[in-house]
Structure 1
Amino acid sequence: MAERRMFTKKIIDSDAFLDMPLTTQALYFHLNMRADDDGFVNNPKKIQRMIGASDDDLKLLIAKRFVLAFESGVVVVKHWRMHNLLRKDRYSPTQYQEEMSLLVLKGNGSYTESIEILTDSAEDNQLATAWQPDDNQLATQDSIGKSSIGEIREGKGRVDYNGIRDAYNTLCPSLPAVRSLSDARKKAIKARLNSYSEDDLLEAFRKAEASDFLRGQNNRNWQANFDWIIKDANLAKILDGNYDNRLSYTGRKSKAAEMLDDSYRMMAEWAGGENE
């Protein structure tokens, strides 16, 4: 089982999450840190008692559907696959396959109970148990949309445009979302895949989300978007690290970087120590 865990700001910066008491938020982080590679936790009450949280904290996480509970006492982090990126060589399937069989994986990467999906279209009925990390592909994003990111190319020369769109929307929550795919966008995507791999696209999306400048922290108040990222010259510069965050000329970190470091330290302390 992988030892490191990640969190997407799309969830932990939401009003629904931040409106909860700090003890409830802390319990959520602890459950994430101790979950298996599919997001399941078999001892939520022990963790609750260990950190001094109350029964109401756990009940609130369940009521607000940040975690889903089963009759067996096991819980699963609803947005686990939106949070975490795992490679196949570090992934161990959960032992709670009976509970897993009761879930489906929605297009945005979150779990939900299968009974909620029964009345939806057949296209959305993607069983969570069908998901597996694919060789060198990132496990979390492998199940976005109707097909996996590891299978962006479908058949001979076919491209899963919806999968690429959904990968961008999930990996770049701070940037303008893509709602539709015009012929021009499809043409640009197909052209990039003639020169770059699927992994390159995912890496560019991650680097764009991590870049203060591309997210809009610049003197022009300008923000990158999908169409800008997918251009050949811009994609190359992103992958080359031209937009990676840098130390200021004084040698001090930017305020955003300091806040991010503080957040990492806080989560590390909650987890019981500093990560290497």
Structure 2
Amino acid sequence: MAERRMISKSLLMDNRFLRLNNDTKTLYIYLLSFADDDGIVKRSMMIDSVLRVDDSNYSALEENGLIIPNQNDQIKVITDWNSLQSIRKDIYRQTTYLEVRSQLFMRTDYSYTKDPNDKNVFSSADDWIRNGRPKDITDFKPLIQQHLNDRNGIRNDDRNGVRNLSIDKNSIDKSRLEQYSTVQHSSAQQRAEKGNKENNYKYINSSSNGGMGETLLNDNSSTSSIENNATTENGENSGVDNRVNNQLDTNNNQDAISSLFNYLNGISPTDIPKDNKRLADVFDMLIRNGYEI
């Protein structure tokens, strides 16, 4: 705690101070002298005894708005502390009464209040102090609006930098993953539907016109073209080829699924295990429906 504090002429000429009796005035000056760098002071039996003051003197300070009472009756907050004192950043030491400070809000004259609904409140005391205790703010309107948004649950970045709100990264990643899955699933369905329509018919070289033209045939139609005769005659080789192709498709799908897991782990703050069967089944369905990585 600093050994010196400032007493301004504006304080000595303030009507709230002038209407006090001399004992209460002296008490207020003592409280200013013993307050920490955030303007919070604990009531001292020594000061009370030396000045011969009691609860009525503290009540007079509270009634005139010079100190703010706390649930702990021994802890007092100097209302106009920040306008009366200028403490350099390199020597500033925050209070040990952090719970008390967390209940305070900053008004546009840099005084403290415990009323968050005060129309002149632009920030919580904690946020204002965290951002360097700036006293050169020229436009309070966006800060006041930001404070109102915070009170109403609307969170957005402050333009002047006094209130720099952060959004939980987990919620962002979860939302992004849900949107990503929805879009990819919708795209896969559209590609699958388009593919089904196109596969209802196919073009093959017709043997009836010497291969010079094309005939549009339905999947249920039969033909003696080279394409249909591309399968083996005895069916055994066809079965082997199908099994080989199926195995290749399975391996390719596994590689693609692994790639999707790697992508999710790249954007997620937590590690998603690759043996998550439900997620793997979703990836497999997307890939089989035409999803391309």
What is the TM-score of this pair, normalised by structure 2? Answer: 0.44
Does 1 or 2 have the higher relative contact order (CA < 8 Å, sep 6+)?
1
Larger radius of gyration: 2
What is the TM-score of this pair, normalised by structure 1? Answer: 0.46
